Amino acid sequence: QVQLVESGGGLVQAGGSLRLSCAASGRTFSSYAMGWFRQAPGKDRVPVAAISKSGGSTYYEDSVKGRFTISRDNAKNTLYLQMNNLVPEDTGIYYCAARRVDVGALARLYNYWGQGTQVTVSS
């Protein structure tokens, strides 16, 4: 299995940027497709981005297209989410997740989860 630890969250003003990281340990990182999820206060956890095992394919939720970029460094066992032009609606706990089956779309079903990192965007 794989263990996931997120970092990089914080408080930022609207229009600002943050870069989230997710460090993976355990089995070979490149064996897993990866995703980022957001859970806003009082709401369900929803997928915002996904990336294939090779990093060659990426998928985004409509509200973050053009603002967020998901990437991975398989040599460093690390997943990233670059978030630009943040808006208050981006506020929530961000989770990274791993799945053994590769992704061909913005997936919801993952096998492993991190503990989450808080992102707060003030207006």
* pLDDT tens-digit readout, 42-58: 999 999 999 999 999 99
pLDDT at 1: 86
Mean pLDDT within 21-25: 97
Other Cβ atoms less than 10 A from the Cβ of 111: the count is 13
- Is the confidence at residue 77, as pLDDT, over 80? yes
Q: Report helix, strand and coil shares of the chain as percent, to nearest 5.
A: 5, 50, 40
- Which of 67-76, 91-100, 102-111 has the lowest average pLDDT? 102-111
CA 65, CA 109: separation in Å to the nearest integer?
A: 21
